[in-house]
Amino acid sequence: MTVLPDIDPYAMHDLETCSSVVQGHELVVLRRDDRWYVYLNSCPHLGIPLNFIADDFLDLDRQYLICANHGALFRCEDGYCVSGPCVGQRLRQFDSEIRDGRLLVDL
């Protein structure tokens, strides 16, 4: 497990997202219902980053992760695409855990 040194998990609010780069991987971190989800910041459709604006990964209703390039919507809890050109595909998800107040991810 690798520590995400620039993320304070308890400073994040519910339905807040941020990004982190660790070992060459650009990651999306999402807090939802006191759980943390970590995904590779790469749309399965085109292999490009999901966001145009730093730390902005949710749709306007804050229900789904969104690809700003073509509007694909991904469920927060498992990265499954429910709308857009990559329906049925998933974001690459990494296992994570909170230990000693730090967010760790299994890359």
Q: What is the pLDDT of residues 43-75, one digit of tens each?
A: 999 999 999 999 999 999 999 999 999 999 999
Count CB neighbours of 70 within 10 A. 13
Position 11 scores a pLDDT of 94
For tokens 């040194």, the residue is 5
CATH superfamily of 2-95: Rieske [2Fe-2S] iron-sulphur domain (2.102.10.10)
Count CB neighbours of 80 within 10 A. 16
Across the beta sheet with 93-94, the strand order is 16-22, 25-32, 35-40, 93-94
Tens-place pLDDT, residues 20-36: 999 999 999 999 998 99
- Would you list the domain boundaries of the chain? 2-95
Q: How many CA atoms lie within 13 A of 56 on its CB side?
A: 9
User: Is 0.85 surpassed by the pTM of this model?
Assistant: yes
